[in-house]
């Protein structure tokens, strides 16, 4: 157990300050932070933020630092689809829930597939704009592997749209980033899109 809640200071903000901010928001919303049911809420919220936004402490490029060249000359497309993610909109701090499809055409080097999923998670666990996250994932793969091409498609349901504002449910946003042959070669791009069209639409 920690000697002091301030032992968990992050980014120049103490745990005490973080929990105090939650109490302020509770009061602003019309609640009493001293009410029994809310006594532990500031601690829980601070813990949740540590989990939801753990991506700020991660360097996504480091996940792809170890690559493999012994692939028996394999040079066809590699696709990892339906990578589920949870993120938060930087405009309203509301959840974004969705999935990412990643594909690349190797130029002699490949990476473990779990590392691709970790890259997605590292960027998702930050305050995000979906368009930016899509570009960040593609750029990370491009930097690490220097492949012939990269394709990333991101689908997301934005709670800032379903629980406030326009209140429209069942709506998802789709963004894509195509680099190299995925952008320049219509056949390569079409092959990638065919692969992900068969993904599970749960």
Task: Please check whether residue 147 is in contact with residue 116, taking contact to mean a CB–CB distance below 8 angstroms.
Answer: no
H-only helix segments in the chain: 15-29, 41-52, 60-63, 113-124, 130-145, 159-162, 181-184, 186-197
Phi-psi category of residue 82: left, alpha or beta, with phi > 0 → left and psi -120 to 50 → alpha = left
Reply yes or no on whether 90 is catalytic.
yes
Cβ–Cβ contacts within 10 Å for residue 105, how many? 21
Catalytic residue among 101, 136, 140, 158: 158
Catalytic residue among 31, 90, 159, 191: 90
Catalytic residue among 92, 142, 159, 191: 92
Reply yes or no on whether 88 is catalytic.
no
Task: Please check whether residue 105 is in contact with residue 181, taking contact to mean a CB–CB distance below 8 angstroms.
Answer: yes
Catalytic residue among 31, 142, 159, 160: 160
Which residues, 6+ apart, have CB-to-CB distance to 163 below 8 Å? 94
Reply yes or no on whether 160 is catalytic.
yes
Catalytic residue among 17, 84, 91, 131: 91
Reply yes or no on whether 130 is catalytic.
yes
Task: Please check whether residue 100 is in contact with residue 153, taking contact to mean a CB–CB distance below 8 angstroms.
Answer: yes
Reply yes or no on whether 89 is catalytic.
yes
Catalytic residue among 101, 121, 130, 136: 130
Reply yes or no on whether 140 is catalytic.
no
Q: Residue 61's closest CA among 143, 180, 177?
A: 143
Per-residue DSSP letters for 104-120?
EE-SS-B--HHHHHHHH
Catalytic residue among 89, 121, 136, 155: 89
- Cite the active site residues: 89-92, 130, 158, 160
């Amino acid at each position: 157990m920690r000697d002091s809640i301030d032992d968990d200071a992050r980014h120049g903000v103490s745990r005490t300050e973080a929990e105090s901010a939650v109490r302020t928001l509770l009061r602003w919303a019309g609640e009493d932070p001293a009410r029994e049911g809310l006594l532990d809420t500031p601690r829980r919220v601070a813990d949740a933020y540590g989990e939801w936004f753990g991506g700020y402490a991660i360097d996504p490029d480091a996940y792809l630092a170890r690559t493999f060249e012994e692939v028996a000359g394999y040079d066809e497309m590699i696709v990892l689809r339906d990578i589920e993610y949870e993120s938060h909109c930087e405009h309203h701090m509301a959840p974004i829930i969705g999935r990412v499809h990643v594909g690349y055409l190797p130029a002699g080097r490949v990476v473990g597939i779990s590392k691709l999923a970790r890259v997605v998670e590292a960027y998702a666990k930050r305050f995000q704009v979906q368009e930016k996250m899509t570009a960040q994932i593609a750029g990370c793969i491009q930097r690490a592997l220097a492949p012939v091409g990269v394709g990333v498609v991101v689908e997301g349901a934005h709670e800032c749209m379903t629980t406030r504002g326009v209140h429209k449910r069942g709506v998802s946003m789709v963004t894509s980033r195509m680099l190299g042959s995925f952008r320049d070669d219509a056949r390569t791009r079409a092959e990638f899109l065919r692969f992900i069209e068969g993904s599970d639409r749960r």
